[in-house]
Structure 1
């Protein structure tokens, strides 16, 4: 009977996890959060880019988003029967099915909103006497046999149009329907008939059998050609006063299409394809652009001609929508990458600090194993297994949470991010151990920050980082965050590199003030201050890592907060430029005067604190320039009360000026064309006026103006050419605009006062204008990422503080125990620990403030937030730029949090050490 192999001791991994379960759980939680952030970031970017694409395509007007395939009527050389067969319902439906089937991927059709038919491309005049003729001109009508009318409309009056028998080119009467809006505008009733001239001597009678209401008026079925739904007044081209006439559309049944071939309206065949955007993703954009180009003039168009006719053509504005989407994505993506690189760098540093903390706590244990013959491979393998047991499940759980939290995104980038975190965590501890224990160590000397002398390699590495940081900042300031062909990671890493260089510089300078302070404190009677500074000077030279984490985290938080503040400021500025005040009440086209009763009612409304009565006159001719050229558009003349208007300009920040410089002398005197009135002018007008007074002829009066001051903006108008003068100089005074200031303005009360006046009054509130700048999914997604960057940056900064303090916690606890045996009180122990940690906390906080401020100041010229702040809506053109601005709260709050947390941890440690007692701590051994 063979001897049994002796059973091995307890497994290493299980023993280590049982020995320190709290540390293992904390480590797993850190890995889980970091893996979640690393996996959630690429998924969030994919998600908001996909939602942004669907938003842009889905909210675009059907006129621009629909794909219209159209061709002329069948050739006249064909026999009538062949021409009629080419436009019948079954032929058109079969072609429609093939057109939808042959759409190149990733284009897909929304079959419910797509339609086909035959229409008269040239409107035909209707001579029936009962049609309205506002200017004495006959209305013109188009006739369309659009498919699916009964599915997209509700019958209000009469019956659905139908065909009776087989309709041909010689059919004398067909039925049609019109929408309610068309019937109301053109006074059409059921049973009415319209004579349509044909190519021969006969006429085609169209009888109205039904009036319908669209079920979805905004859908592509009705809005790809709005005339089908809503008639329009069109101006007849003329050199004299324009004359308008009605143009509308009548809806015939699909099988009535052959009858249109006999008319003179140039019939054409069409297939309108509404794109289905529900399945599109941001990754489909390149292929989508290729597909659209192919349909407009490539293989896709040839495939369509195989089924719809050799002469059909495709027209769509989808390519323009995609161009706008890609422009916004290319503007937002680099700015978001800056935040991602910053948070990623902080996370890496914190993970390395965690590995360093674990390695320092187990230094004696690993040194003993190494001294007793343990190999680096064996020790590293056990540490790798010990770390992987905790890190791999935590990373997998973080990935799972990211997938569940952020949907509709690719999996592999998230898996790569979470996997990178796990690999870094698993490799940090074994590699650090292998580097520290290459040779058995019996004793390690002091590694004081105050006495350490950097090596030549470290100096070269620091100089290299300095060059990289300078190059990144220079590139970002010169060309901005945009880079040809994608995002420039060097430029995006500029804040991180600046923080890294600042950490290196601060660590090198840190011993100098510490030595000076130590000399001053050594002369004092108390021992606490001297011991605190002496202990602070003995901090390990490895303190660069926590300082780097703090600086990069604080810089990233400050940068993210400044981005959000810059976005909010840009929207506020755009809203102010749109209204000029907290509220704006104007007549029609800003030129119709407001009645005195309306002005009094509005000024008495709740919340109104002040008002400025303004008289605006557009198109005032300017004197000819020096070369004799005239300004055809003229300028805008604005009459104001200097005192109230100057106060409004100061409060809004739009061209503030001293009221005395605008006040006209001799106000109230008899009108005189030779009067010289001081004026507040725009730069373009100032260049035209020069230094001498020049005469103006306006409806408000004739006088001369002299430029008293030049401003680029003014509250009354949103334009670049204006003249602001004292309204007392006007011969004909009136109020065309009322600019109101106040908090809590009641929009309902203001609009009620406008309605009671019986005038066409426009009421515009700055708060409502501000609310119109609604985020697109891409903008809101980028803002959420920056908000997460602020929170994550602050959290990692505080975690770096905790890790830095926990690394030396046993040594400080032992020190307190020894000093208490020498008479140190608990209060003095708390002060000792607080003063010891204070220099590094102040270094990190003040350094973070300075570095954050300097980073924003350095990078601001290269960061433009216009596309992030304003979509392509009404306010996007009002701001040329939206620069990055420093947000004081984003700078101050994280820095104060570092100081407060450091003091709190020191106080808690002193209290806990006091509870344990000196004897218990001293029995634990002599920690170095």
Structure 2
């Protein structure tokens, strides 16, 4: 047969198939690209938002002998070039230019004693000129010497940060004797401040930029600061007191990172660590310090969850898209049936008929698949293998389905076939295959729940089970729904009205056409409901996590106790409705010496603050009762020291105190245990301005539940998962609509002929609409509840295999009642589409000439 003539003869069906194929290939090739782009962006944002001291690669050294000491900038820079040459190939694109080198002493005491111990460390930064401004005095110069206790010691000129002047009493012109056994004189010649305090590199040198206050458990408080010296000062910097450390910081440039390369980066960091370890000698030892591996491991955990969820729903979308394309191919082969039967009757071999159908299908879907594949490259993102594989699978599946259908239909020339028999029994092979699919799906779901998640590796098993469950439910539905339908046909046969009997009889005889429709509609509806339920669960849990993080609509936390006047100003601030007072601090348990954190709060007032919150607050009975974290274990009465000794009685265990602590050792007590009503935390209800509250209490930081929720939702991986679920839900709904339309079109000719013949016998237009509705609705009315139930049950069926807590603030997305609005809307929408399709079909059939139906009717 002539292929171009066949394309022209079936132009409408071919055009529909072209659209379906192009859209399917665009989705299967484009969505993975956008997902990969979002994964890369999430990694880059994560690296950029993390402090540099965690992401950068820092080589540290501790000289043990004078031979290992470095005393010039050239020696430090030469070592820095050596570390860069040792970098593995996977790390070189990620390590940016610049970086810096430092040499510092630590815990270097001032050789003076008092109630407060002062530590002034000596420090050198290779890029100090770029990072600091000298606000008083001058920059340090060359060192000198002096006599101290009968020995000659170096005098190193240093500069101190402005904060050390204010908090430690250091002044320009002072000379402080440092060290205990090995002494060094530090002459303060200038005061500096950071040019850009927000520069990420300061996280490596926070001891230079700020004064550190330390309160030991068994001693007076300590103040630590690190000074800055010149390059010349390196000549006098020795490690006689064993407190000297060198650091070479190799900055990480996250802009070149990609999610696909994370495993290689982890391996490269481990290899670089081994290279650094073996560089040490007896006079100096080296080690690599970085928080990059655990950061990447956490990202891989979230990435694995994101990939699992999205490939799960995308796999279902791909399966449904293939089913709709199969419906389109079936429609095309049905239109070609008479032509192929005639060619077969005239001597064409089965191979020739199959080749003609395959060629026609390939010419239809091939260019469309190529167009969808090409359009996917307009979307951002790298190209995973599925981008190339997906369109090829679409073309091969469409052609294979066409060939199989033609081979089955034309095995013998002019073979008589009855596709409308209700009592036609399936073969034993088919029943066995269907039973095998059901058993494997159920066994897979059981094993998935028993095994749990598979770690950070992609789990193909998890991607197959949901589609297998949907397919199993569809097969069971196909096998079970004819029985009540036959009963209805028998009941309507006894009545006087012909329309119910004819409609239900045609529905029963249309099983061969409706089988593929059910196999498409049920997975489409169940997976779209599943996506809607998970999306709703993530949204609900994100809100719960934001409340757990803050503990109130607004939380104001101060480093020091808040004065009563400041508390009163907060109460009178515009927008403030309720205020609950709380005090946090570290206490000591007398019997064991443990030092847990404690929260003393007015629980009754806190409940009024959180009146409409989704979190529940614990209850305490008695003024001396306490709730303990699991880490503190079970105990009866015990004594704590907090401002004064207090005797408490353990009332129970509490896993978390919302807004305060969720892990470690902590306890919750009522405010009545405090000897005086101090407070360093205010829990506020209302819509007050955070900036105004911060102004009223300058020493405090302000957190809001809305800001915490926005931060959780702003995560790129979270946004990608939620957006993808919405897109997939819409796409699955659209495919369900197309499947209904195609099922209408597939039987349009026979249905129109039947209706026209019945119209000549007196069937009215209203009765014709009822007839078509009764023919279509049984499939939809059975499929919709089953798909809805399966979609609502999939989260429980998959169990711990799909962990989306990474997108919900770390809380498990389980244990809440799913919202039924979206799932029920999807199921009702599918039924509405069937009704509208039936009415549209009737409207189009009104133009049909009834005389033509009589002339063309079968005898």
Q: Indicate whether 1:462 and 2:434 are aligned.
A: yes
Match for 2:20 among 5, 10, 30? 30
Pairwise CA distance, 1:231: 2.5
Q: Cα distance 1:94–1:582, how it changes in 2: closer, same or farther (>3 A)?
A: closer
Deviation at 1:111, TM superposition (A): 4.4
Identify the match of residue 258 of structure 2 among 274, 281, 284: 281
Q: Could you list the per-position Cα deviations for residues 94-121 of structure 1 after superposition, in whole angstroms to 9, with x for gaps in the alignment? A: 332332233111112644441225x243
Q: Using the alignment, how far apart are the partners of 1:855 and 1:201 within structure 2?
A: 70
**Residue pairs, 1:259-278, within 5 angstroms:** 259-261=236-238, 267-278=244-255
Contact kept, 8 Å, 2:630 with 2:653, in 1: the verdict is no
| Paired position in structure 1 for 2:351 | 377
Contact 2:101 2:126 in 1 (8 A): yes
Q: Displacement of 1:895 after TM fit?
A: 1.0
How far apart, CA to CA, are the structure 2 residues paired with 1:546 and 1:457? 22
Structure 1 residue 235: Cα displacement: 2.5
Aligned-partner Cα distance in 1 for 2:192–2:567: 46
Tell me if structure 2 keeps the 8 A contact 1:339–1:789. yes
Structure-2 separation of matches of 1:636 and 1:654: 17
C-alpha distance in 1, partners of 2:634/2:178?
Answer: 59
Alignment-derived partner of residue 141 in structure 1: 121
- 3-state SS in 1 of match to 2:420: coil
Are 2:37 and 1:47 equivalent residues in the alignment?
A: yes
Corresponding position of 1:568: 539
Deviations 1:545-600, CA, capped at 9 Å, x for gaps:
21121111111111111211121122111222234443446776799768774475
The alignment's TM-score, normalised by the length of structure 1, stands at 0.80
Match of 2:223 in 1: 245
Q: Select 1:746's aligned residue among 680, 687, 712.
A: 687
Q: Is the 8 A contact 2:625 2:648 kept in 1?
A: no
> Compared with structure 1, are the counterparts of its residues 387 and 198 closer, same or farther at alpha carbon in structure 2 (3 Å cutoff)?
same
Tell me how far 1:898 sits from its aligned partner: 1.0
- Per the alignment, residue 551 of structure 1 pairs with 522
Matched, 1:807 2:780: no
Contact 1:361 1:807 in 2 (8 A): no
Superposed CA offset, 1:329-375 (max 9, x none)? 33443333322332222122222222222112221221111111112
Question: How far is the alpha carbon of 1:808 from its aligned partner?
Answer: 0.6
The answer to whether the 8 A contact 2:66-2:283 is kept is no
1:615 and 1:430 map into 2 onto residues whose CA distance is 75
Shift of 1:322: 2.3
Alignment pair present for 1:474 and 2:458? no
Aligned length: 849
Closer, same or farther: CA 541–21 of 1 in aligned 2, 3 Å: closer
- State the partner residue of 2:410: 437
Kept after mapping to 2: 8 A contact 1:115/1:273 = yes
Q: 1:214 aligns with which of 170, 174, 195?
A: 195
Classify the secondary structure of the residue corresponding to 1:327.
helix
Tell me the distance in 1 between the aligned counterparts of 2:122 and 2:661.
41
Tell me the alpha carbon deviations over residues 489-541 of structure 1, each in whole angstroms, 9 at most, x when there is no partner.
33332222222222122222222222232334344443322222222122133
Q: How does 1:366-445 map to 2 (within 5 A)?
A: 366-407=340-381, 409-410=382-383, 412-445=385-418
CA distance in 2, matches of 1:584, 1:760: 14
3-state SS in 1 of match to 2:749:
helix
> Structure 1 CA distance, aligned partners of 2:72 and 2:588?
60
1:913 is matched with 845
CA distance in 1, matches of 2:508, 2:85: 77
Equivalent in the alignment of 2:149: none
1 CA distance for matches of 2:456 and 2:627?
Answer: 44
Alignment of structure 1 residues 768-783 onto 2, 5 Å: 768-783=707-722
Structure 1 residues 195 and 882 mapped into 2: Cα distance closer, same or farther (>3 Å)?
same
Which residue in the other structure is 2:508 paired with?
537
Contact 1:811 1:927 (8 Å CA) reproduced = no
1:495–1:208 Cα change, 3 Å: same
Summarize the Cα distance change of 1:706–1:867 in structure 2 as closer, same or farther, 3 Å threshold: closer
Contact 2:132 2:194 (8 Å CA) reproduced = yes
Q: Which residue of 1 aligns with 2:782?
A: 843
Distance 2:756 2:9 in 1: 25
Separation of aligned partners in 1, 2:60 and 2:603:
56
In 2, Cα distance between equivalents of 1:316 and 1:201: 31
Q: Could you report, residue by residue, the CA deviation over 1:147-166 in whole angstroms, capped at 9, with x for unpaired residues?
A: 2333445566676666699x
2:793 to 854, 861, 871: 854
Deviation per CA, 1:237-292, whole angstroms, max 9, x where unpaired? 4624x322231221423x54223249867555432111233323233223322221
Shift of 1:903: 0.8
Q: Distance in 1 between matches of 2:777 and 2:648?
A: 69
Q: For 2:583 and 2:155, how far apart are their aligned partners in 1? A: 57
Question: Compared with structure 1, are the counterparts of its residues 193 and 400 closer, same or farther at alpha carbon in structure 2 (3 Å cutoff)?
Answer: farther
Structure 2 residue aligned with 1:667: none
Q: Distance in 2 between matches of 1:785 and 1:371?
A: 51
Q: CA deviation at 1:907?
A: 0.5
Separation in 2 of the partners of 1:794 and 1:343? 10
Pairing 1:824-903 to 2, within 5 Å after superposition:
824-860=763-799, 862-870=801-809, 876=810, 879=811, 882=814, 886-903=818-835
Distance (Å, rounded) in 1 between the aligned partners of 2:813 and 2:783: 33
Q: Distance in 2 between matches of 1:155 and 1:738?
A: 40
**Equivalents in 2 of 1:737, 1:205: separation in Å?**
41
CA distance in structure 1 between the aligned counterparts of 2:624 and 2:190, rounded to whole angstroms: 68
Candidates 287, 296, 307, aligned match of 1:313: 287
- Residue among 447, 452, 472 paired with 2:424: 452
Matched, 1:103 2:87: yes
Specify whether residues 87 and 821 from structure 1 end up closer, same or farther in structure 2 by C-alpha distance, changes over 3 A only.
same
Aligned to 2:147: none
1:635 offset after TM fit, Å?
A: 7.0
Q: Deviations over 1:68-116 (max 9, x none)?
A: 22334595369xxxx7xx6433343333233223311111264444122
TM superposition shift of 1:201: 11
Residue matched to 2:478: 507
In 2 relative to 1, CA 593–529 (structure 1 residues): closer, same or farther, beyond 3 Å? Answer: farther
* CA apart distance, 1:759: 8.1
**Cα distance change of structure 1 residues 51 and 698 upon mapping to structure 2, 3 Å threshold:** closer
> Contact 1:860–1:885 (CA<8 Å) still a contact in 2?
no
Kept after mapping to 2: 8 A contact 1:69/1:313: yes
DSSP 3-state at the match of 1:747: coil
Q: Does the CA-based 8 Å contact 1:163-1:175 persist in structure 2?
A: yes
Distance 1:633 1:69 in 2: 35
Match of 2:205 in 1: 225
Q: CA RMSD in A?
A: 4.5
Which aligned pairs between 1:343-382 and structure 2 lie closer than 5 A? 343-382=317-356
Q: TM-score, normalised by structure 2?
A: 0.85
CA contact (8 A) 1:701 1:731 kept: no
Contact 1:106 1:280 (C-alpha < 8 Å) held by counterparts: no
Q: Residues 296-354 of structure 1, C-alpha deviation per residue, up to 9 Å, x if partnerless?
A: 224x654x669x99743333222222222223233443333322332222122222222
CA contact (8 A) 2:109 2:180 kept: no
Structure 1 position 114 matched with structure 2 position 99: yes
* Pair 1:576–1:513, CA change in 2 (3 A): same
Superposed displacement of residue 910, structure 1: 0.5
* Structure 1 pair 61–251 and aligned structure 2 pair: CA distance change class (3 A): farther
Check if 1:652 corresponds to 2:623: no
